[in-house]
Copies of this chain bind each other. A is one copy, B any other.
């Protein structure tokens, strides 16, 4: 079940994603908002926003959860399956607007695919 009431917590969290491009890790959100929001609240609201198709989540480098805004997703159709890119220098993560073809695999049914590409981002290249 997703978001039902428009609360301060929801507004604060959504604001983070509206004022920043790219993905944000849960640990970063906790550090940024811990004076305003309890960590349980942060986890619960993010979970609901994902349910609603507003955010999508994925695992970054150390198994830490990241969230980013969805484009064209809904509750039962998370359709922007795209790779994520994590910079090994600055740690920043972005969604990549790239298609990667995952071949069919004999005798297996594919539900979803998570692709994490690691390397150096634009700003850290030089």
Chain A interfacial positions (CB closer than 8 Å to B):
59, 62-65, 83, 85, 88, 96, 98, 100-103, 105, 107-122, 125
30 A-B interface contacts by CB (under 8 A): A59-B63, A63-B64, A63-B65, A83-B102, A85-B105, A96-B105, A98-B105, A100-B100, A100-B103, A102-B115, A105-B117, A107-B122, A107-B125, A108-B119, A108-B120, A108-B122, A108-B125, A110-B117, A110-B118, A111-B119, A111-B120, A112-B117, A112-B118, A113-B115, A113-B116, A113-B118, A114-B115, A114-B116, A114-B118, A115-B115
Cβ of A36 to closest chain B Cβ, rounded Å: 26
The docked-state distance in angstroms from the alpha carbon of A114 to that of B61 is 10
